[in-house]
Amino acid sequence: MTGASPALRLALGVAAAMAPPPPAFPAETPLGHVIEGLRAARDSAVLALDDAGRPIGILTEQDIARRVAFRLPEEAPLSAAISAPLITCAPDAGLWRAVALMRAHRLRHLPVVDAAGRCIGMLHRADVLAAVSGRMLQHLDALAGDDAAVKAAQAGLATALLHEGIEAPALVRLVSEINLDLHRRVLARALAEGPPPPIGFTLLVMGSAGRGESLLRPDQDNGLILEPYPDASHDQLDAWFRPMTERLNAGLAAAGFPLCPGGIMARNPLWRKTRAQWEAQFALWARRRSGAALLFADIAFDFRGVARIGAVEGDPAAALRAAIAPILAAHPALLGALAAQDQRLRVGLTLWGGFADDEPGAGTRTDLKLHGLMPLVAATRLLALQHGVAETGTAERLAALAERGVVSHGPGLQRAFTLLLDALLRQQLADHAAGQSPGNLVDTAALPKPVRAELREALREIRRFAKACFAGFTGELW
């Protein structure tokens, strides 16, 4: 993690910050042997293991001073002195989540366990907190609370990091990771409120969530990849998934993710399928190329798997991503149809080079998402799909396209992307601080003059790039 900004460190998985696993012993090991092993390893904690080698408790130096010294004989088992149940985290959990857990439970050590429940590393409080400034801690503490508290804490954390000079893409990545963690929490609760799932499945997010570009108030765009099942079982399985997905989408709405007006949510049967059914759905959209098919494909192409539940074979989301290339090769007209639809997107500049007025009534604010980010996102997506780029984030797609020589002005577009995210995020934080719902209308007149000038040039760069891209697919002059 050396050299990474605080925001980037917090968004990284805990695997990037963990130390090697501590000494570990079977729970029945005599304490005398355990303490000697701790001394020899020069570590500050040991783990107690069950018969399968999974940690079930922890014994720290503090525990030895409080519970063992002059209290328990050397022959007493390790299980008599450990702290249990054990609080752990996964290696792909955001470091922000680990910090919140450690502070909420006053932990000095947090074991990192793999999918099988075995310890693969340890987080130490002193090392972890070194990545976090004091200004952020109050907001990180709130991230250990309920869903509403977590959503509210996003704004405070983003504001604190902006004040430290962290650039918007790093902040948006962190906000997106917090949003994905909320999705997993709500899903776990939806599962706990009903019988166990009859088959395994993968939760997908799409749109801005799939790109890792969520701002403070994204709509829901989600679906499921179901594990294969016999056709005769459909009604029985659907009877389980209907109430569970209703709980999932309602829970996400309560957590601050508004229901998708277009119904692109797991509770809609259209958005929960097996992988084979998803592939057939993409192929159908590619053949039909109707308005609804293009809209759905545009959103769905940014999908990302965020949770695998039950017996899931492999990585269904990655396998589905790999299946897109042959579908597009068989139906090349789809990208042309998407480009014809996307070329209606306009940047937020007037004919004379001023900022467009997108605000109803007397205001003059500009929608920099619809008339800035979206043309850039759409054009970059089309080129990424054409050239088989697996990444879904706009910045990552631009970098991959530049590396392949497809985009020659990558740095300028990356800077334009950063400027737009920064303007949108700052406006949304200002809206939040004023007690208003965060939106996409940016008060460009309130920006410093140099920022306005750079933003205008960024929009011109996006306009040139998007027009050339769309024309390349449609064959229309621009």
Q: Is residue 14 part of a domain?
A: yes
Task: Indicate if 266 and 348 belong to the same structural domain.
Answer: no
Q: Is residue 112 part of a domain?
A: yes
Domain count, the chain: 3
Task: Indicate if 269 and 374 belong to the same structural domain.
Answer: no
142, 169, 190 - which closes a domain = 142
Task: Indicate if 111 and 207 belong to the same structural domain.
Answer: no
119, 142, 165 - which closes a domain = 142
Mean pLDDT (whole number) for 47-54: 93
Q: Which residues span the domain enclosing 295?
A: 202-322
Q: Is residue 277 part of a domain?
A: yes
Q: pLDDT category, 1, cuts 50, 70, 90?
A: very low
Res 99: pLDDT: 83
* Tokens 């109803």 belong to residue: 360
Q: Please, what's the b/e burial string for 381-404 (b: 16 or more CB within 10 A of its CB; e: otherwise)?
A: bbbbbbeebebbbbbbbbbbbbee
Return the CATH number at 43. Answer: 3.10.580.10
174: pLDDT strictly greater than 70 = yes
Task: Indicate if 41 and 129 belong to the same structural domain.
Answer: yes
Within its chain, how far is the Cα of 241 from the centroid? 24
pLDDT digits (tens, 9 = 90+) for 87-136: 998 888 878 778 878 887 889 899 999 988 999 999 988 777 665 655 56
pLDDT digits (tens, 9 = 90+) for 270-325: 999 999 999 999 999 999 888 888 888 888 889 999 999 998 888 999 999 999 88
Q: Is residue 148 part of a domain?
A: no
pLDDT digits (tens, 9 = 90+) for 354-398: 999 998 887 789 999 999 999 999 999 999 999 989 899 999 999
**Distance set, CA 362 to CA 51, 235, 293, 365, 370 (Å):** 70, 54, 37, 10, 20
> Omega into 85 within 30° of 0, i.e. cis?
yes
Contacts of 82 (CB under 8 A, 6+ apart): 27, 48, 56, 57, 58, 59, 63
Q: Is residue 328 part of a domain?
A: no
Task: Indicate if 424 and 305 belong to the same structural domain.
Answer: no
